Each structure stands twice: as C-alpha cells, then as structure tokens.
Amino acid sequence: MALSQMADSKANILISVNAIILSILIGNLIDKLHTDPNLQIPLALIAVVCVASIVFGILATRPNVSSGKFSHEDIASKRTNLLFFGNFHNASLEDYSWGMTEMLGDKNYMNSSMIKDNYFLGVVLAKKYKYLRIAYNIFMYGLILSILAFVVASMLPEATEVYTAG
C-alpha cells in the first residue's frame, strides 16, 4: 500500500509540474509566436511533452474498479475475493457479512483470497510504475529535446529580420 501511495504521489507531482509548465507556456510565450515564428517548433514540442507526461501520470493514478457485486454462487464456488473492496463495494452489508463469514470459515478459501489479494496488488503496482516510468521518461527526454530546440531557435535569425533585410 505504501508503494502504491508513493507512486500516486510521484504521479501527482509530475502532473502538477507539467500543468505549471503548460500554464507558463500559454500565459507568457504564446504571444511571442507572432514576433518570433522560430519558437513554433520548440513550444509545440514542450507542449506535447507536457501533455503526454500528464496523460501517463493520470493513467498511473486512474482507478480501475469492478462492479462491486458478488453472488452466493461466487462465494460457494470461491470465485470472489472479498478482501478487495472492488468486489463488494456495491453489495449490501448483509451479503458482505455472509460472504466474509463463509470465507473466514474456510481456511483454504481465506488463504487463497489473501494470496490473490497480494498478487493483484502487485500487478496493479507494476502497472502504475510502468506508466509512471513512461511519464518520467517522456518528461526527461522531452525536456532535453525542448531545451535543445529552444537553443537552436534562439540561434536562428528572426523571421521579421529576414523579410526586412531582403
């Protein structure tokens, strides 16, 4: 659970940083496109990088919850893990209590549920960290490319100078 909270925290930081960068770009640099068209590619690049980082940050934190209902047959056939809230959040307290009592009364069912719960927590955590790693890679490499694009753009003559000189 702590690793999942850390992943969510890192994703939220990445989302916030990229949203701030986008806000600064839109607020301060968009007007400069009229006077310096050479900024079009670097600004577009950093905007795409920020949006892609935000998207993967959101994918890392986006919840995926099932229907939250189970049947008596699911419990009798041991197909439902009542240790995961997504399997019971829409069930009545009476049904949940009955299902938990059944599960607790069967040591093998309980152990199997604990094993499955731990396994699927790991699967979800791996998916979160995969998306988080992609988001950070996009941000890191995209930031480097964007800075290089800004450097190149600053070395190019301004379009207004080229037209007035010719």
Q: How confident is the model at residue 131 (pLDDT cuts 50, 70, 90)?
A: very high
pLDDT in tens, 144-153: 999 999 899 8
107-155 and 93-104 helices cross at what angle (nearest 10)?
110
Mean pLDDT of 85-102: 90
pLDDT in tens, 20-74: 999 988 888 777 777 778 888 888 899 999 999 999 999 998 877 777 888 889 8
Q: How would DSSP label each residue in 116-156?
A: HHHHHHHHHHHHHHHHHHHHHHHHHHHHHHHHHHHHHHHHS
Q: Which one-letter DSSP state was computed for residue 26?
A: I
Q: How confident is the model at residue 158 (pLDDT cuts 50, 70, 90)?
A: low
C-alpha triplet 36, 32, 44: angle, nearest 5°:
85
Can you tell me the distance from the alpha carbon of 162 to that of 22, in angstroms, rounded to the nearest whole number? 30
pTM for this entry: 0.74
